[in-house]
Amino acid sequence: MEPQATQDLIRRLVSLCGEVSRGRYGNVPDLFELTKKTGLYPEEIRELAEAFGMMLVKVEAREFHGRKLIESLESARSELYLARERLARENAGLRRTLGKHYSPRRIIGRSRRMQDLLAEVDRIADTPVNVLITGETGTGKELIARALHYNGARGEGPFIALNCTAIPETLLESELFGIEKGVATGIDRRAGRIEQAHGGTLFLDEIGDMPLTSQAKVLRVLEDREVVRLGARKPIPVDIRIVTATNRNLKEEVARGRFREDLYFRINVVHLHVPPLRERPGDIPLLLRAFLDLSVRKMGREPMTIGPEAMECLKRYPWPGNVRELENEVDRIVALAASRTVLPEDLSRAVREGGRPGALPAAADTDRLRESERTLIEQTLSEAGGNRTEAARRLGISREGLRKKMIRYGIG
């Protein structure tokens, strides 16, 4: 092979490498054909050029696939952006709907006490103050808490609720404060409810049942505005509003040493009390109408009305389970009533007998009311065969609420 031809081939290869580095492959086929069809170069040189050409073809193919992948990723990014925009619009719409749904103006109650309560909710919804909501089981304390959140400045943020009696004491702190990975075998890192409520509202229901050790840590969060996960050392800043609720008298709990006084003053900046249903009997027909319409639609029945005798029983009954018990009673009526007019015999035995003429009136004194409640609990437990879950359902209260009432009245 002539030295000049060899040098020419080398120059061509070097030039081609430069073009390839700039992303141009147009001369590769020409060089491949030149070395293959002419006899100017020895077999080794032709094989080298051919191998070089094939290598460049593979590089070009990979770059082609790379461009296609980039195009695909760009398309996916555009779709994700559009999906994110759509989700943001849907979330904004949902929050507006929730704001309207939990507006104080939509909460049923025309009695003076309820109107005063709802007016106060409206006034303080936009403020950052912590709120303590008190009231008996089933009066609607969480409904008031949601009204405060969704109609206030934090309505765009999360509403995180935790029932302090629903979680075992051993797990309560990890639920509240979160936990770091490796604290125990098989435990993964997890944010607690306080951290999840950042930018929004943390609702602690039944806070009167929170253990003293947890109370001290919640107080620290309120003072320092930061939370430390279990097993961690670095605190995490949090911006939250605390709304709490209880059916206990926290002043008495403080006096007995079962609730921290400093925490009580921290959470009780504004105190809202939800009156029991027996103290606002004028709201019962309104609530009955609303629950009846809702239950009829839910169960697919024809519109129903409540007969005058049944209405009198419902108004006289003391409703120890309050609004929750009333709603459960309506569901039972709609499910079992034979006709579209509700009669006394369609009512549960507890309501029918508790609301009979001459039974406990709405304005009865506290001692008579408690005796009536005790009798109703015993009677309902008997009818439920001792099954506390079923008895609680019939009474319209939680199983934990029934357990507390049984302890209070000494029912074994």
| Distance separating alpha carbons of residues 145 and 391, to the nearest angstrom | 27
Q: Is 106-275 a domain of CATH 3.40.50.300?
A: yes
278-409 fold: Helicase, Ruva Protein; domain 3 (1.10.8)
Q: Is residue 268 exposed (0-12), middle (13-18) or buried (19+ Cβ within 10 Å)?
A: middle
Sign of CA dihedral 363, 365, 369, 371: negative
| Distance separating alpha carbons of residues 214 and 232, to the nearest angstrom | 17
Task: Among 113-122, 175-184, 342-351, name the one with the lowest average pLDDT.
Answer: 175-184
When pLDDT is cut at 50, 70 and 90, the band that residue 64 belongs to is: confident
| Distance separating alpha carbons of residues 222 and 205, to the nearest angstrom | 17
What pLDDT is attached to residue 187? 77
Cα dist from 5 to 26, 40, 45, whole Å: 22, 7, 11
Q: What is the mean pLDDT of residues 50-68?
A: 73
35 versus 381: the higher-pLDDT residue is 381
| Distance separating alpha carbons of residues 330 and 347, to the nearest angstrom | 9
Question: Domain ranges in the chain?
Answer: 1-101, 106-275, 278-409
When pLDDT is cut at 50, 70 and 90, the band that residue 364 belongs to is: very low
Closest to 357 in 3D by CA, of 369, 370, 366, 344: 344
Sign of CA dihedral 74, 75, 76, 78: positive
| Distance separating alpha carbons of residues 254 and 236, to the nearest angstrom | 30
Alpha helices by DSSP H, listed for 225-365, are 250-255, 261-267, 284-299, 308-316, 322-336, 349-354
Block residue for tokens 């605390």: 242
Closest to 205 in 3D by CA, of 254, 259, 160: 160
What pLDDT is attached to residue 350? 86
What pLDDT is attached to residue 412? 72
**Span between the terminal Cα atoms of the chain, in Å:** 111
Q: What is the mean pLDDT of residues 400-405?
A: 80
Domains 106-275 and 278-409 share a fold: no
| Distance separating alpha carbons of residues 62 and 54, to the nearest angstrom | 12
Task: Among 70-79, 147-156, 204-213, name the one with the lowest average pLDDT.
Answer: 70-79
316 versus 19: the higher-pLDDT residue is 316
Cα dist from 195 to 84, 116, 182, 200, 226, whole Å: 24, 33, 19, 10, 9
When pLDDT is cut at 50, 70 and 90, the band that residue 323 belongs to is: very high
Tens digits of residue pLDDT in 236-280: 999 999 999 999 999 999 999 999 999 999 999 999 999 999 999
Q: Which two tokens stand for residue 366?
A: 């506290």
Three-class secondary structure of residue 384 per DSSP: coil
When pLDDT is cut at 50, 70 and 90, the band that residue 83 belongs to is: confident
What pLDDT is attached to residue 365? 43
Three-class secondary structure of residue 275 per DSSP: coil
